[in-house]
């Protein structure tokens, strides 16, 4: 037992160092991505204010669209990845039409999700209430899709198009931030477990 103890302790210490380094790298990426997201949002709102100034405040507002008939063009795909005692939630932004795939539909569920056991990934889609009806209307929705920017007219100023582009970019950035936060939580839990394992090895 005494011969195996040093090698086990070395392995735990090595793994602790690796997890700690990865944690701080991930935190650095998270802070940078959050700063980028803040700048993107500021630019989006700035371009929107310019568009409202050029077109008139009443020309770019809630009176230009019907909230009851709005349909999401993007969905968030949530994947639970099992890694030993840890469960990572990973987020992915997908087009609504591409997400309506038979491989992701669980006939037992009302939503759009995939759940597998035996260590495989669990996939769940947020934002779908009636998959069967959505699948039947999929082709119709594709044909009837209208660029939201056309709610405000055909010849809209370039500032409004730039605002739309910034907010689309912000949506992608939010997904990156969510994934980084999920990874940080995972690494913290992993580090705590390794610390407990080190204590057990020390007492042996």
Write the DSSP string, the chain: -TTHHHHHHHHHHHHHHHHHHHHHHHHHHHHHHHHHHHHHHHHHHHHHHHHHHHH-GGGSSGGGS-GGG---SEEEEEEEEEETTEEEEEEEEEEHHHH--GGG--TTSSSEEE---SS--EEEEET-S-HHHHHHTHHHHHHH---GGGGG-SS--HHHHHHHHHHHHHHHHHHHHHHHHHHHHHHHHHHHHHHHHHHHHHH-
Average pLDDT, the chain: 76
Lowest-confidence segment of 40-54, 63-77, 183-197 by average pLDDT: 63-77
Higher-pLDDT residue of 57, 140? 57
pLDDT digits (tens, 9 = 90+) for 99-136: 555 444 443 333 444 444 444 455 554 444 444 444 45
Q: What value does the mean pLDDT take over residues 24-45?
A: 96
More confident residue, 70 or 177: 177
Q: What is the pLDDT of residue 2?
A: 41
- What global pTM score does this model have? 0.70
Please classify residue 97 by burial: count the beta carbons closer than 10 Å to its beta carbon, then call 0-12 exposed, 13-18 middle and 19+ buried: middle
* Residue ranges per structural domain of the chain: 1-67+148-204, 74-144
Structure tokens at 115: 């759940």
């Amino acid at each position: 037992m005494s011969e195996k103890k040093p090698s086990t302790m070395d392995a735990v210490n090595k793994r602790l160092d690796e997890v700690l380094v990865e944690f701080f790298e991930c935190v650095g990426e998270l802070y940078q991505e959050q700063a980028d997201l803040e700048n993107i949002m500021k630019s989006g709102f700035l371009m929107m204010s310019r568009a409202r100034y050029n077109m008139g405040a009443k020309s770019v507002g809630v009176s230009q669209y019907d909230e009851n008939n709005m349909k999401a063009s993007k969905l968030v795909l949530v994947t639970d990845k099992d890694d030993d005692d840890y469960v990572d939630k990973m987020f992915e932004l997908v087009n609504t039409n591409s997400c309506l795939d038979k491989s992701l539909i669980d006939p037992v569920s009302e939503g759009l999700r995939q759940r597998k056991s035996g260590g495989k990934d669990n996939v769940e889609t947020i934002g779908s209430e009636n998959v069967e009806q959505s699948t039947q209307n999929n082709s119709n929705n594709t044909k009837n899709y209208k660029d939201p920017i056309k709610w405000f007219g055909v010849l809209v100023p370039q500032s409004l198009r730039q605002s739309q582009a910034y907010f689309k970019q912000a949506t992608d950035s939010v997904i990156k931030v969510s994934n980084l936060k999920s990874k940080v939580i995972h690494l913290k839990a992993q580090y705590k477990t390794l610390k407990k394992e080190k204590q057990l090895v020390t007492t042996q």
